[in-house]
Amino acid sequence: MAQECLEFNLQVVLCKLKLELSTMLKVGLTGSIAVGKSFVLGVLSELGCRILDADATAREVVTPGTPGLNSLVDAFGSEILREDGALDRARLGAIVFSDEEKRGLLNSILHPFIIAAQDDQIRRWETEDPGGIAVVDAALMIESGGYRRFDKLIVVHCRPDVQLERLISRDGLSPEEAERRIAAQMPQAVKMKYANFLIDTSAGFESARAQTEVVFRQLQAVSEE
């Protein structure tokens, strides 16, 4: 009887220790332009993951009066502001799009603010749901080195011809302009080498959803280890 009580108490202590040490599984989601990241992110949200969109965070950290926006004005001048003091994204985009050095400067300014905001949000989620899964979507996660912050990395990809067709259709671009935008990014094949999980959206939504559900179950298994 004493032995059974000892074993029971040991089990209780171990379970409590495991709970105290449990942390939210942090997953990065990335992929090139027009490959279907947003769809995959939406499916993961439906399945119960906590979702952070880096584009949304990037907008939040440059609202009027924030240190992020002030830093951009210091770097690029007040001409990137609208009359109401908000960031003129089109004007800033025109400045950095064709200039690799200025794009690098923009990213070096924004990424620390974005990462800090994301980390704050994940810490709040972690107190509510330490055994959960947080997924952060960012297009430049690999290029910036930000993928190293995560426990696992999902790379969404598709065939190049499908990517080109989607980009032309989505943004109303000419084939030449679409090809230039794709060429300005890291090749899909290179991004795929960093992945723990790959999701191929070439065959459409139904196939992409099925693959995402499989990856979700695998992430659940990792979070429960």
The pLDDT, as a whole number, for residue 8 is 37
CA–CA distance, 159 with 201 (Å, rounded to integer)? 8
With a cut of 80, say whether residue 133 has pLDDT above it. yes
Segment among 8-22, 42-56, 122-136, 181-195 with least mean pLDDT: 8-22
Share of residues in the chain with pLDDT > 70 (%) = 90
Residue 223 CA to residue 194 CA, distance in Å, equals 20
Q: What percent of the chain has pLDDT over 90?
A: 80
Mean pLDDT of the 185-213 span: 97
Domain 54-130 carries which CATH code?
Answer: 3.40.50.300
Query: What is the torsion angle, in degrees rounded to the nearest 10, for the CA atoms of residue 210, residue 141, residue 80 and residue 76?
Result: -170
Q: How is the beta sheet containing 50-53 ordered, strand by strand?
A: 50-53, 133-137, 25-31, 152-157, 197-200
Contacts of 225 (CB under 8 A, 6+ apart): none
Reduced to 3 states (helix: H, G, I; strand: E, B; else coil), residue 51 is strand
| pLDDT tens column, 63-99 | 999 999 999 999 999 999 999 999 999 999 889 987 8
Instruction: Look at 35-44, 68-77, 91-100, 123-132 and tell me which has the smallest mean pLDDT.
Output: 91-100
Per-residue confidence (pLDDT) for residue 140, from 0 to 100: 87
Do 201 and 157 contact (CB within 8 A), yes or no? Answer: yes
Domain 24-49+132-225, CATH among 3.40.1160.10, 3.40.50.300, 3.40.50.720, 1.20.1560.10: 3.40.50.300
Please report the pLDDT score of residue 97 as a whole number.
Answer: 81
Domain ranges in the chain with CATH number 3.40.50.300: 24-49+132-225, 54-130
